[in-house]
């Protein structure tokens, strides 16, 4: 496949074809994504939980993230590839954000954009990054890096929070109107708000729990594939496969067959014939 670029994504948006995006958190899930029909891959800092077992994205160190981001990037050769700036790698200054973004671009083979959680407080950052040729994807609504500050992973905006809904809408407009944000992830907001934002923006909106009217969707791959065995309580996740159960079943089959002396069978074993060793390349 030819690599998808920002131009392909923008054309697809003009053609009103929903943009599919999926996260990847290691070389294998990078491969899955790369071989699938999805349009874009995000190296999301959710890998802090699904790959490294941390309780949230806040424990993830930049070096740990970079190490994994490199592995993912080696697998993703044909998709539009976006990478998060993880917690602690950008907030303190514009130059820190530039350094972190540059490091990711240097270390990851095929990176095309970086994503930053937040609103107008980062407009200066988006301007600098865009001006030096690093495409920025925004992320607003629920911003998981601030889950502690927000008191949890909660719906943002809504009919009982009209002021907050208005603020989210206005912030999204400001991000787009800065001209420095190429696309915008909207997380965990009511569908009607996702629709209002999408109808009033020209840049693509990518929903995770922001409803069907956004320009595209994103899910965490481990959730979609049912890899973690514990995501059924997240409303916006649809689990399309059950890798967790499949894996445990397979491991139990293996355990049973070894204990029953069914595995390894003759087809998995090297037999010594009378006059020669059977040599196998494997
Ligand atoms: O880290 C992540 O996985 C994300 C999204 C799913 C948007 O930021
Ligand atoms: Na993220």
* CATH code for the domain of 231: 3.20.20.60
**Phi and psi at residue 145, to the nearest 5°:** -65, -20
Pocket test for ligand 1, best of 52, 69, 87, 144 (most atoms within 8 A of CB): 144
Number of domains into which the chain is organized: 1
The 10s digit of each residue's pLDDT in 42-66 is 999 999 999 999 999 999 999 999 9
Is the Cβ atom of 86 under 6 angstroms away from ligand 1?
no
CA distance 222 to 47: 9
Q: Is 37 contained in some domain?
A: yes
Mean per-residue pLDDT for 112-139? 98
Is the Cβ atom of 215 under 6 angstroms away from ligand 1?
no
Q: Is 262 contained in some domain?
A: no
Of 174, 221, 217, 166, nearest to 192 (Cα)?
Answer: 166
Question: What's the domain range around 129?
Answer: 6-245
* Number of the ligand 1 atom closest to the C-alpha atom of 187: 7
Q: Is 280 contained in some domain?
A: no
Protein residues with C-beta less than 5 angstroms from the ion ligand 2: 44-45, 84
Nearest-CA residue for atom 8 of ligand 1:
44
Active-site annotation, residues: 187
This prediction's pTM? 0.95
Nearest-CA residue for atom 5 of ligand 1:
44
Query: How many angstroms separate the Cα of 89 from the Cα of each of 47, 99, 147, 248, 270?
Result: 16, 9, 17, 36, 52
Distance 74 CA to ligand 1 centre (A): 19
CA distance 265 to 160: 64
Plot region of 151 (φ>0 → left; ψ -120 to 50 → alpha; else → beta): left
User: pLDDT band for position 148 (50/70/90)?
Assistant: very high
Plot region of 118 (φ>0 → left; ψ -120 to 50 → alpha; else → beta): left
Q: Is 271 contained in some domain?
A: no
Q: Is 65 contained in some domain?
A: yes
Tokens of 85: 């700036």
Distance 44 CA to ligand 1 centre (A): 5
Nearest-CA residue for atom 2 of ligand 1:
44
- 163-167-169 Cα angle (round to 5): 115
Distance 158 CA to ligand 1 centre (A): 21
Q: Is 266 contained in some domain?
A: no
For strand 40-43 and strand 183-187, is the pairing parallel, antiparallel, or unpaired? unpaired
Mean per-residue pLDDT for 6-24? 98
Give the pLDDT of residue 232.
Answer: 64
- 124-130-136 Cα angle (round to 5): 90
The 10s digit of each residue's pLDDT in 171-210 is 999 999 999 999 999 999 999 999 999 999 999 999 999 9
Q: Is 13 contained in some domain?
A: yes
Q: Is 282 contained in some domain?
A: no
């Amino acid at each position: 496949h030819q690599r998808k670029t920002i131009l392909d994504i923008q054309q697809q948006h003009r053609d009103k074809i929903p943009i599919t995006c999926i996260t990847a958190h290691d070389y294998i899930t990078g491969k899955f994504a790369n071989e699938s029909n999805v349009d874009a891959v995000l190296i999301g800092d959710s890998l802090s939980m699904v790959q490294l077992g941390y309780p949230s994205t806040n424990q993830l160190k930049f070096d740990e993230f970079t190490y994994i981001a490199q592995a993912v990037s080696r697998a993703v050769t044909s998709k539009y590839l976006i990478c998060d700036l993880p917690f602690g790698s950008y907030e303190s200054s514009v130059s820190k954000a530039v350094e972190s973004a540059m490091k990711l671009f240097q270390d990851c083979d095929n990176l095309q954009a970086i994503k930053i959680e937040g609103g107008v407080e980062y407009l200066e950052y988006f301007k600098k990054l865009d001006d030096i040729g690093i495409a920025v994807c925004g992320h607003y609504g629920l911003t998981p890096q601030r889950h502690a500050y927000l008191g949890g992973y909660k719906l943002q905006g809504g009919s009982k929070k009209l002021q907050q809904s208005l603020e989210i809408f206005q912030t999204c407009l400001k991000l787009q109107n800065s001209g420095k944000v190429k696309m915008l992830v909207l997380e965990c907001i009511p569908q009607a708000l996702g629709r209002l934002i999408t109808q009033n923006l020209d840049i693509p909106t990518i929903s995770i729990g922001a409803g069907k009217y956004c320009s595209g969707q994103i899910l965490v791959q481990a959730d979609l594939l049912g890899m973690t065995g514990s995501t059924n309580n997240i409303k916006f996740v649809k689990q399309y496969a059950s890798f967790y159960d499949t894996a445990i079943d397979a491991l139990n089959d293996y355990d049973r067959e070894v204990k029953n002396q069914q595995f390894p069978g003759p087809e998995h074993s090297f037999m010594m014939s009378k006059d020669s060793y059977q040599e196998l390349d494997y």
